[in-house]
Structure formats: C-alpha cells, structure tokens
Amino acid sequence: MKSLQQNPQLLEAQFEFRFGTIAGVNAAKPILLISLFLCSGNAVAQAGEKEPAAVVELGAAASRSLTEGQSSFGPTVAVEATPIENWLELEAGVTPLFRRHSTEWSIDLLFKKPWTLSDKMEFMLGVGPEWIHTNAYGTKMDSVAAEIASDFMFWPSRKHRLGWYLEPSYEYKFGPGHEHSLGITGGLLIGIP
C-alpha cells in the first residue's frame, strides 16, 4: 500500500486498469454498461412472451415547416427497445431531410407509453429531445428541439417479426426562428429476437 502512495503513476495506472479511462477505446465501457442494463430488464420481462428484444424501423419521412412553409423528404432509421413492459418504450432514430439548397440531420430520443390494442396492433404516444444539424445555403447551424409523436404499429402475425408503422409528429426548435413543423414517417418494422 505504501508503494502506491509513494508512486502516483502506479496509483493512476492501477485506477485505469480497474475502471478504464475516458479517452480512446475505453470510453465505450459506460455506454456498453448502460445498454446492457436497459436490455437486461427487457430480456427478463419478455422471456415468457416471445416478444422481440428490439424493433428496427426503416422507412421514409416527410416534414412541413409551419414557420417557413417548406417541405422536406428523406429516409429514416430507428431502434426501439422496451425497458419497462407496458409502461416505457425507448426509441432512438436518425433522419436526414432534404429540400432545395438545404439538408437537415436530426437525431432523436423518444420516451413512449405503449398501449396494446390487439395482438396485431399497438399505439404509442411519445415525447423527447432532438438534436438538429442544418446546412442551408452553405450556412451550418445546430439546434435543440422537442418532439411529440404518436406511433401506430401493425403486425400481420402474432410473432411480431415483420410489420409496418405510421408515426405523425410535431417538432418545435429552440434555435433561431423557433421553427414549428409537422412530420410523418412510415415504413417497415423488423423484430429482433
């Protein structure tokens, strides 16, 4: 113990060995631990019901700015997991939207409350933060937004392996101009066992 107190480099190396570092490859450890924590509750809760551990959403998105009166279109991809069965769904997604002389990339995290309407249909209402990077006429801007979305999920079979969804949403940007917009996404649902 005295050798550790006398040699601070040895103490720092011992700490890095036990707990990892923040820089470089070891920065992934906290993210991995959080992911495992969220997925472990999901796996235990759904073991008897054979529900997917996660659902991937692949589709198309359209958005109409209520402030500027312009429309944007693009692809979208999201992953959804259930940390608390029948109470909380988490959805993280990325959507690039394109219009003339403008590109907008958004990353969102929605906290959704699910309701099972039948074996083949679900409804969710969610709210969450969104980060938006816009490049319009060569000017780049980042802003934070809030999003409210309703999600309709349709599953042709009871196994919930393949389905489709429709998700209308409202977005409010806290950046310059305080833009309001309405959007809709829709596409394919893929259940990951």
Give the Cα separation of 10 and 15 in Å (integer): 9
User: Taking residues 34-40, what's their average pLDDT?
Assistant: 46
* Rounded Cα gap, residues 25 and 45, in angstroms: 32
Tell me the mean pLDDT in the region 71-80: 97
- Tell me what pLDDT residue 137 has: 87
pLDDT tens for each residue of 125-153: 999 999 999 998 888 999 999 999 999 99
Q: What is d(CA 96, CA 61) in angstroms, rounded to the nearest whole number?
A: 9
97 Cβ contact partners less than 8 Å away, ≥ 6 residues apart: 61, 63, 72, 73, 74, 103, 104, 105, 106
Would you state the pLDDT for residue 176?
78
Residue of 173, 79, 91, 77 whose CA lies nearest to 125: 91
Rounded CA separation 3/91 (Å) = 49
As given in the structure block, the two tokens for residue 129 are: 């933060």
Q: What is the mean pLDDT of the chain?
A: 82
pLDDT at residue 11 in the model: 45
Q: What is the pLDDT of residues 93-104, one digit of tens each?
A: 999 999 998 999
C-beta of residue 190 within 8 angstroms of C-beta of residue 164: no
Q: What confidence category does residue 193 fall into, taking pLDDT thresholds of 50, 70 and 90?
A: confident
Whether pLDDT at 63 is above 80 = yes
Stated pTM of the model: 0.71
Q: What is the mean pLDDT of residues 39-57?
A: 63
Residues 6+ apart with CB under 8 A from 12: none
| pLDDT computed for residue 7 by the predictor | 56
Q: What is the phi/psi pair of residue 52, to 5°?
A: -65, 145
Question: What is the share, in percent, of the chain residues with pLDDT greater than 70?
Answer: 74
The backbone torsions φ and ψ at residue 49, rounded to the nearest 5 degrees and listed phi first, read -95, -10
pLDDT attached to residue 177: 79
User: Between 23 and 149, whose confidence is greater?
Assistant: 149
Q: 26 or 94, which is more confident?
A: 94
The dihedrals phi and psi of 112, each to the nearest 5 degrees, come to -115, 145
